[in-house]
Chains A and B, each alone.
Chain A
Amino acid sequence: GAGVSQSPSNKVTEKGKDVELRCDPISGHTALYWYRQRLGQGLEFLIYFQGNSAPDKSGLPSDRFSAERTGESVSTLTIQRTQQEDSAVYLCASSPTPVDTQYFGPGTRLTVL
């Protein structure tokens, strides 16, 4: 079946603009995760959704970052008033349950000029 998909694959924006990143998890996966990966670095946890429970937002770096997910479907990560330090690859992952392996999408490369 289809894997996790993300769009756009690349996004270039100007400082101060808002951006919206999309993640389509694997069908039936209840858990969805967003991570940020700066160039040459490891993954930083941003936010976690599990079913209809309240999301775990403890990794969001500032109030400019927000994310939504409707049920067990698509999620969007929104970054308002982008800054140059937001430039990174944003990775989305999903898993069938919270204890299963996470499967990652190809990521969105965000460049803030």
Chain B
Amino acid sequence: AQKITQTQPGMFVQEKEAVTLDCTYDTSDPSYGLFWYKQPSSGEMIFLIYQGSYDQQNATEGRYSLNFQKARKSANLVISASQLGDSAMYFCAMREGRDNYGQNFVFGPGTRLSVLP
């Protein structure tokens, strides 16, 4: 079974509008971490935001926020005021347990976001 599901292969958003990228996860471990990465066409993976399973509040980093709904096992990324430079692939990832080792760290298939001028 997929550990991380991103159901939107591609998304379009108008510049300056907000967009939500979906991510659902599957784990039975009570301790886990959720990450979002951005991969522009240049290929590098850029860390955006992190949410721990025990964190009481949703994580925020500038224009990025994570809508963490633990009971639903979802960790959607919200990008406010989209910019043309936000066009990229976005990957949701999960660390099961306390360590990043090996197969405990898994990535979803990604969502390609295109910001329209």
Which residues of chain A have a CB within 8 Å of any CB of chain B? Answer: 31, 33, 35, 41-43, 45, 48, 50, 56, 58-59, 89, 91, 93, 95, 98-107, 109
Contacts and interface: CB of A to CB of B under 8 A. Distances in A.
Contacts, number: 63
Contacts of B44: 104-107
Contacts of B37: 104
Nearest to A100: B100
Main secondary structure of the interface of B (DSSP, over half): mixed
B19 interface: no
Interface of B: 33, 35, 37, 42-47, 50, 91, 95, 98-103, 105-110
Given A50-B101, A99-B100, A101-B50, 12 more contacts: A42-B91, A48-B100, A56-B102, A56-B103, A58-B102, A58-B103, A102-B47, A102-B100, A103-B47, A104-B44, A104-B46, A107-B43
Given A42-B109, A43-B107, A106 B99 contact: no
B99 to A, nearest CB: 4
Given A99-B98, A101-B35, A101-B50, A45 B103 contact: yes
Contacts of A56: 101-103
Contact of A42 (B35, B103, B107): B107
A93 to B, nearest CB: 7
Contacts of B50: 101
A5 B72 CA distance: 38
B102 A109 contact: no
Contacts of B99: 98-99
Contacts of A95: 100
B92 to A, nearest CB: 10
Contacts of B107: 35, 42-43
